[in-house]
Each structure stands twice: as structure tokens, then as C-alpha cells.
């Protein structure tokens, strides 16, 4: 009988079983390492993605906040510009209104409009910087009720007959009634029989200066009307 081992012998079957067990052990070990690598990849990869997502979300929130801040700043700048514009407009309106009060023309006085068509009327400019227009015409004399005897001197005392007639002549030149006139100044014009008066209506639409002369034996006569830019000029 030969001593050569047969693959079907007991020793052959043992060797084959040993190799199979060794191969199985190796496969199990390799599989365990692979599983560990896979789990690690999933865990750490997920955290990285989560961190990236959080970073992206944080960036988006930051951009949104920045956009809101820019919008708020733009709105604030717009409101500031609007307020500045409103203040400038208001200041311009106030200045224009004050200018209109000081720089008037004859058209501002309804009572003076009819005289523009009167014969012999003259409306001229003046060299006086405070006088916008000079109006001259042949105003009628306001008859006096006083006995003067040719030696009359104007009396500027309130309540006297002389002063009342002087004011009547002033009103006739500017076309204002007694209840709608302010006498800013009534004074001597460098001669005892010559006077001047600065007046306005009670709304202070504008200022007028009237020159009045005394005509012996007749009364007071307006001789010149000036449209002023300022009552104190």
C-alpha cells in the first residue's frame, strides 16, 4: 500500500478545513475594518456637511442683516434729505413772503388801480434805493374848515382839526379808509407847510409814503406818492 496522502483522506480534509477557517477569519477582519472606515466617513463627513450648511446659513443671515442695515441707512439718508429740502423750501417761502411785503408795486393796492388810467398820471422809477415806484398826479385839495389868515403852520397834534384834515388828505392819496390804515410816521418835510406820511393797510400789504402840501386859503393837497420797499427807509 502506498503512503501518499489522498485528498479524501482524513489529513487532507483537515487541511482543507483549516484553510477555509483562515480565509473566513481574514474576510471577517477585512469586513470589520471596512465597516469602521465607512462609519467614520459617514460620521465625520456628516459633521463637515452640517458645519458647511451652518456656515452657509450664517453667511446668508449676515448678508440679509447687511442688506437690512443698508436699506435702513438709505431710508434714513432719504428722510434726512427730505427734511433738509423741506427746511430749505420753508425758509425760501418765508423769505419770499417777507420780500413780497417789502417789495410791493402799485398792483398790490386795489384802491390804487383806478388811478393808472387817469389823465396826467405818472408812474416812474426812483433813484432812492428804498423807493420802488413814484406816482404823481393832480390830486384834488381837501378843503379846510379852519380860518388860517395866510399864516398857517401844520400842527402834528393828535385830535386837532388841523391834524385830522392832514390825515384826511393822506387817506385820499392812498385810497384807504380810516378803519384800514396804519400811520407809521407823520412828520415835517423840511417846511412848516409841507408834510410826509408813511402808511400801510392793516394787513401790512406794503408801505406807501405820501407828500402833502398846504395850499393857502384852500387846504391840504397830496402831491407825490411813493411805493416803498421798507417802511423804515
Choosing from 43, 75, 102, the residue where a domain stops is 102
Per DSSP, the three-state class of 21 is: helix
Residues 132 and 213 in one domain: yes
* Cell output for 190: 423840511
Residues 81 and 179 in one domain: no
Q: What are phi and psi of 193, to 5 degrees?
A: -115, 20
Kindly state whether residue 233 falls inside one of the protein's structural domains: no
Residues 53 and 138 in one domain: no
Q: Cα separation of 201 and 170, whole Å?
A: 13
Lowest mean pLDDT among 53-57, 98-102, 142-146, 206-210: 98-102
Q: Cα separation of 6 and 75, whole Å?
A: 99
- Does the pLDDT value for residue 121 go beyond 90? no
Residues 126 and 62 in one domain: no
Pick the closest to residue 117 from 126, 133, 106, 132 (CA basis): 106
Domain of 94 in residue numbering reads as 7-102
Per DSSP, the three-state class of 153 is: coil
Q: What is the mean pLDDT of residues 54-62?
A: 55
Whole-model pTM over 0.85 = no
Write down the residue that cell numbers 477557517 correspond to: 21
Residues 30 and 57 in one domain: yes
Pick the closest to residue 154 from 198, 220, 218 (CA basis): 220
Residues 90 and 149 in one domain: no
Number of structural domains the chain divides into: 2
pLDDT in tens, 134-173: 999 899 999 999 887 778 899 999 999 999 999 999 999 9
Of residues 201 and 68, which shows the higher confidence score? Answer: 201
Choosing from 102, 131, 146, the residue where a domain stops is 102
Choosing from 102, 137, 155, the residue where a domain stops is 102
Amino acid at each position: 500500500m502506498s503512503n501518499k496522502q489522498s485528498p479524501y483522506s482524513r489529513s487532507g480534509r483537515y487541511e482543507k478545513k483549516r484553510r477555509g477557517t483562515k480565509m473566513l477569519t481574514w474576510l471577517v477582519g477585512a469586513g470589520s475594518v471596512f465597516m469602521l472606515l465607512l462609519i467614520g466617513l459617514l460620521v465625520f463627513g456628516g459633521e463637515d456637511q452640517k458645519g458647511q450648511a451652518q456656515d452657509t446659513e450664517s453667511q446668508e443671515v449676515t448678508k440679509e442683516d447687511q442688506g437690512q442695515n443698508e436699506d435702513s441707512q438709505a431710508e434714513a439718508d432719504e428722510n434726512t434729505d427730505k427734511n433738509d429740502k423741506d427746511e430749505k423750501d420753508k425758509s425760501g417761502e418765508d423769505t419770499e413772503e417777507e420780500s413780497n411785503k417789502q417789495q410791493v408795486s402799485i398792483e398790490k393796492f386795489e384802491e390804487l388801480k383806478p388811478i393808472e388810467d387817469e389823465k396826467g398820471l405818472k408812474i416812474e422809477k426812483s433813484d432812492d434805493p428804498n423807493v420802488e415806484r413814484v406816482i404823481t398826479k393832480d390830486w384834488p385839495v381837501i378843503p379846510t374848515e379852519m380860518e388860517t389868515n395866510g399864516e398857517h403852520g401844520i400842527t402834528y397834534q393828535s385830535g386837532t382839526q388841523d391834524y385830522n384834515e392832514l390825515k384826511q388828505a393822506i387817506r385820499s392819496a392812498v385810497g384807504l379808509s380810516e378803519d384800514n390804515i396804519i400811520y407809521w410816521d407823520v412828520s415835517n418835510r423840511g417846511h412848516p407847510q409841507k408834510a410826509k406820511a408813511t402808511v400801510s393797510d392793516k394787513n401790512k400789504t406794503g408801505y406807501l409814503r405820501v407828500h402833502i402840501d398846504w395850499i393857502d386859503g384852500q387846504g391840504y393837497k397830496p402831491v407825490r406818492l411813493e411805493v416803498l420797499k421798507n417802511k423804515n427807509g
